[in-house]
Amino acid sequence: MTEKEKMIAQQEYNPQDEELVRDRYICRRMIRQFNDMNEEHEIDRAEILREILGAAGTNIYVESNFRVDYGYNVHVGKNFYANFDCILLDAAPIHIGDNCKLAPGAHIYTATHPLNPEKRASGIETAKSVKIGNDVWIGGGAIINPGVTIGDEAVIASGSVVTKDIESRTVVAGNPARPIKNVY
């Protein structure tokens, strides 16, 4: 397997592999173009996003500054909105359902590093996919950690750090995020 195939398959991989370095460079160049483009060019911005992302439904809108590592591992459904300064580190696939909203500064991480210091020093990484259901709202400054699944209609309160799966129709808050009530 190539390092890219290992990365996407959520196996240990070398992020300094030539192909992965090139993929990140290409993505960052496109993201810079997207972020620097005036909002009045909505159609052009949407076209660039569709080139960057692995899949995108209809009616998506992303504010600048937006950051992704590779882009091709991000899959968003229809009616997706990401407010200012969202970061999606997509070493593994990130799947976001329909009608989802990310508030300013929401971060989604898939990359993770070994706990063993010697192995960590080697530069080897792993990545764990993140899955977000339909009709989810992620509040400002919230962080979604690698391997998390968030059920449909969940709400992640501002500033929350999500370290475990979240059931559908649940509001969570805190660090680590804990259920505080159900969505009615």
Catalytic-role residue among 75, 95, 107, 113: 113
Strand (E) or helix (H) holding 45:
helix 42-52
Q: Which residue has the tokens 């962080």?
A: 143
List the end-to-end C-alpha distance of the chain, in Å, as a whole number: 47
107 catalytically annotated: no
Cα gap 119→164, rounded to integer Å = 25
Cα gap 184→81, rounded to integer Å = 23
Positions annotated as catalytic residues are: 113
